[in-house]
Structure 1
Amino acid sequence: MRNIKLTIEYDGSRYQGWTRLGKDESGNTISNKITEVLRKMTDEYSIDLYCGCRTEVGVHAYAQIANFKTESDMDIQEIKHYLNRYLPMDIAIIDVEEVPERFHAQLNTSSKTYVYRMTIDDVPSVFDRKYTFHCYKIPDKHLMQQAAAELVGKHDFRNFSTAKKTKSTEREIYEIEVYGDIEEMQILIRADDFLHNMARLIVGTLLDIGLGTRPKEDIPAIFSGTKNASAPCDPKGLYLQEISY
């Protein structure tokens, strides 16, 4: 069996995330669209596609990583061209690589990085409105950076997640950067892993602090459970930027 690694770029606007299982199970997912084409390409119905990070509903990816095993003898370029020919135009395979048998896109990750993009102006841009969150007021970047510093390190992030059943809710955030100018700001979060909705709840809380609707001192209170995190940010501005191995 060959082990094939894919680097995938996608616009998550019209999909139910990377995958949707359980009572909300849906076929309208990124993984399902790719798997359907892989089965057609290889004539192997039992193909399993593993990803580095399960993005949520409406979230995009600059570089999602996935792998699958196949007995097909198609060369790398043929696989890339076939997938891009038959996939919807909002999903693109930007790289295909044959990797060692033991490589697993989900189990071998060392870090995952999300970036959140927001524009600031009196009038939202007609061209950016689908892929950035719009702020009418300039968030206080300094306050957001101070609050972000409280999140860096190893913590129990159960109160920054909507996961109902998780064995462990301890994660480690390696860095959070808040940068930009008066026209566009970005929040970058790099961690060993993310709980369900963790990135969106962190961004939503930092935005509320930057906009002055809650104090930066709320971060320890959210960890302790005496206060709740803010509502999750709008997913259209969130991108999976990188997965490291």
Structure 2
Amino acid sequence: MRNIRMTISYDGSTYYGFQTQPKGNTVQDVLEEAIRVLTGEEATITASGRTDAGVHARGQVINFETASPIPVERWALALNSRLPDDIVVLQAEEVPLNFHASYHAKRKTYRYGIDTTKFGDVFERRYRLHVPLPLRLEEMRRAIAHLKGKHDFTSFASTRSAKSSHVRTILDARIEASEGKLDIFLTGDGFLYNMVRIVVGTLMWVGEGKLTAKDVKRILEAKERSAAGPTAMAHGLMLWEVQYDD
């Protein structure tokens, strides 16, 4: 058997998330069907992490075992010819059999995109939240700085989170601004269910003047979901990059 690792991009607009579920139409379902058509095998994909319905990925990482003799340099081309236009394999490589896309991930980066133009960019509508309001950018930057480091992020986790611990480490948190656009980047050793979207919803309240930067520190210490802001809409979120020690 061989273990194949792939980096993939996908537009999650029409899918019910990455992970297979009873109602179908997931990114995992489509990928596994393409592998079955290509190799005749019923492969089971492991991903670095699941993304919810409507969430996109620029650099999702997956792995699966196969007995196929297809040369590793041919996998991307072969699968892309069998995938829809909204899923693309960017890279394929053979890795040790013990490699696990989720367990071995060391750092993940998410980007949340916001469109601040008056009427919204029609070409960005699937990938950015449209907020046609003046936002207090510098206050938002002071707020996001409070998230860096190791914290209990219970206040920024969905009440549906099943994790035994909500302690995570945020390695980098920043906001990049260009004309009409804001990009919020969070890099960490792991993320909780809806964590990034709740962070963004809270930062939006800071930007709108409903909260101050100091309130974010108070929200962290509260360890209570009701202390934070709303959950931002899914379509602005993108899994940007997953990093491994190798």
In structure 2, how many angstroms separate the alpha carbons of the residues matched to 1:77 and 1:211? Answer: 49
Q: After TM superposition, list the pairs within 5 Å mapping 1:61-72 onto structure 2.
A: 61-72=57-68
2:180 is the counterpart of 1:180: no
Residue 200 of structure 1 deviates from its aligned partner by 0.6
Contact 2:73 2:93 in 1 (8 A): no
In structure 2, how many angstroms separate the alpha carbons of the residues matched to 1:189 and 1:139? Answer: 19
Q: 5+ residue gaps in structure 2?
A: none
When the two structures are superposed, what TM-score results if normalisation uses the length of structure 1? 0.93
Q: 5+ residue gaps in structure 1?
A: none
| Alignment-mate amino acid for residue 15 of structure 2 | Y
| Alignment-mate amino acid for residue 239 of structure 2 | L
Residue 240 of structure 1 deviates from its aligned partner by 0.8
Residue 81 of structure 1 deviates from its aligned partner by 2.1
| Alignment-mate amino acid for residue 232 of structure 2 | C
Residue 225 of structure 1 deviates from its aligned partner by 3.8
| Alignment-mate amino acid for residue 229 of structure 1 | A
1:92-118: per-residue Cα shift (whole Å, max 9, x none)?
111111112222111111100001111
Query: Which of 150, 154, 167 is the matching residue for 2:164?
Result: 167
Q: Give the superposed CA RMSD.
A: 1.5
Q: What percent identity do the matched residue pairs reach?
A: 36
In structure 1, how many angstroms separate the alpha carbons of the residues matched to 2:115 and 2:155? Answer: 28
Residue 20 of structure 1 deviates from its aligned partner by 5.0
1:2 maps to what in 2?
2
1:51 maps to what in 2?
47
In structure 1, how many angstroms separate the alpha carbons of the residues matched to 2:94 and 2:179? Answer: 44
SS of the residue aligned with 2:185? strand
In structure 2, how many angstroms separate the alpha carbons of the residues matched to 1:229 and 1:52? Answer: 27
When the two structures are superposed, what TM-score results if normalisation uses the length of structure 2? 0.92
2:89 is the counterpart of 1:90: no
SS of the residue aligned with 1:92? strand
| Alignment-mate amino acid for residue 237 of structure 1 | G
1:168-196: per-residue Cα shift (whole Å, max 9, x none)?
11111011001213411111000000111
Query: Which of 97, 105, 109 is the matching residue for 1:109?
Result: 105
1:119 maps to what in 2?
115
Query: Which of 217, 222, 227 is the matching residue for 1:220?
Result: 217
In structure 2, how many angstroms separate the alpha carbons of the residues matched to 1:164 and 1:207? Answer: 22
2:194 is the counterpart of 1:206: no
SS of the residue aligned with 2:200? helix
How many residues get paired?
A: 241
In structure 2, how many angstroms separate the alpha carbons of the residues matched to 1:174 and 1:229? Answer: 21
Residue 216 of structure 1 deviates from its aligned partner by 2.4
SS of the residue aligned with 2:119? coil
Contact 1:138 1:182 in 2 (8 A): no
In structure 1, how many angstroms separate the alpha carbons of the residues matched to 2:141 and 2:4? Answer: 40
In structure 2, how many angstroms separate the alpha carbons of the residues matched to 1:63 and 1:33? Answer: 17
In structure 2, how many angstroms separate the alpha carbons of the residues matched to 1:97 and 1:204? Answer: 37
